Amino acid sequence: MTDLPPRCAGVLLRGCGSATPARSISNDELGDRVETSDTWIRSRTGIAARRIVGREESLTALSAKAAEAALQMAGWSADSLDLILLATSTPDDLFGSAPRLQARIGAVRAAAFDVTAACSGFLFAVITAAQYLRCGAMQRILVVGADQLSRWVDWDDRRSCVLFGDAAGALVLEASIDGQDDLGGFLLRSDGSRGDVLQLPHHRDHLPLVGSASHQKGGFESIQMNGQEVYKFAVREVPAILDALLQKTGASAEQLDWLLLHQANQRILDAVAERFSIPQSKVLSNLASYGNTSAATIPLMLDEAVRDGRIQAGHRIASSGFGAGLSWGAALLRWSGPA
């Protein structure tokens, strides 16, 4: 754990929550749509099912449900929040959905804005929130990671449609001036030169405007992914950044209680754990039930493990988010829980 700069506040993790759509779609059901099977999907990804937002559901509604659960755990009212960060790449409104979330939960004092970093988004947003808390500008912050990737999946592409699902997860953080700090260190990385291996690109449609001028029509393609390259990126960069963070902070893998990675592929989780000789009993995974929910995977898994008692107060967690951008990061966390 690193020392804080003079007069710099610590960060406390006070509550978490999550929400998933009602409808779960199994691998066998997907096999009725595309040429695939439960055995094929499980053996390559570890995924057995995924949740998909239905007609009466929305990203904002899921985010609000997760946020309210986190606030309830912390024992906070929504009007005590100073800031809301919504990590999402699939907002209900392209101008930003965080203000809608702010209004929906009644956080009348809070500023709110979106953070877009795809599967790294939640971790990037938590680290961003920590800076507001450390400098004393704010006291309480809600971070939500939520994505509705089912909007942008080509459901006839069996290479990608089996991977993704929808969900929301939330974490509330509080500034501390008593020396306690639940964020022991972090590292962030981006490499746009490799961004085309996982992207959701804008349509390149041009329509006549006036005279010889044209305009670009709004809209996006489906998710485009080079699965082999994404896998190689993850198994190379995630261990490297975690190793660099452990060295930077003077921590060791043996001191960790849990490894909590972005839930993209079980083989990635296994490879990272093997690199650090972390036993499977310390690797958190719910990938089988939800698939890759992008910015929601880490807080969704965190909430599940806190509520079922696996994660206890004082437990140390190494976390890493990685994905489109390309972007990736790592953080050493400690769970404090409600005051």
Could you read off the pLDDT of 202-241 as tens digits, one per residue?
888 889 999 999 998 888 988 898 989 999 999 999 999 9
Q: Is the pLDDT of residue 6 over 50?
A: no
- Compute the mean pLDDT over every residue in the chain, rounded to the nearest whole number: 95
Paired tokens of 299? 């807080």
Residue 178: DSSP 8-state: S
CB 197 within 8 A of CB 190: no
pLDDT mean over 156-166: 94
Active site residue 215: no
Which helix (H) or strand (E) segment holds residue 323: the answer is strand 316-323
Strands 140-148 and 327-334: unpaired
Say what the pTM is. 0.94
Q: Is the pLDDT of residue 22 over 90?
A: yes
Phi/psi for 274 (5° steps) reads: -65, -40
Ranking 38-42, 223-227, 310-314 by mean pLDDT, the lowest is: 223-227
Active site residue 206: no
pLDDT mean over 174-182: 92
Looking at 16, 27, 265, 292, which residue is catalytic? 292
Looking at 27, 119, 161, 265, which residue is catalytic? 119
Active site residue 265: no
Looking at 16, 27, 161, 262, which residue is catalytic? 262
Q: Is the pLDDT of residue 179 over 90?
A: no
pLDDT of amino acid 227: 87
Confidence at 3, pLDDT banded by 50, 70, 90: very low
Sketch out the chain's domains with CATH numbers: 10-176 (3.40.47.10), 183-198+221-334 (3.40.47.10)
Q: Is the pLDDT of residue 293 over 60?
A: yes
Segment 68-114, tens digit of pLDDT: 999 999 999 999 999 999 999 999 999 999 999 999 999 999 999 99
pLDDT of amino acid 4: 45
pLDDT of amino acid 205: 87
3 state DSSP class of 140:
strand
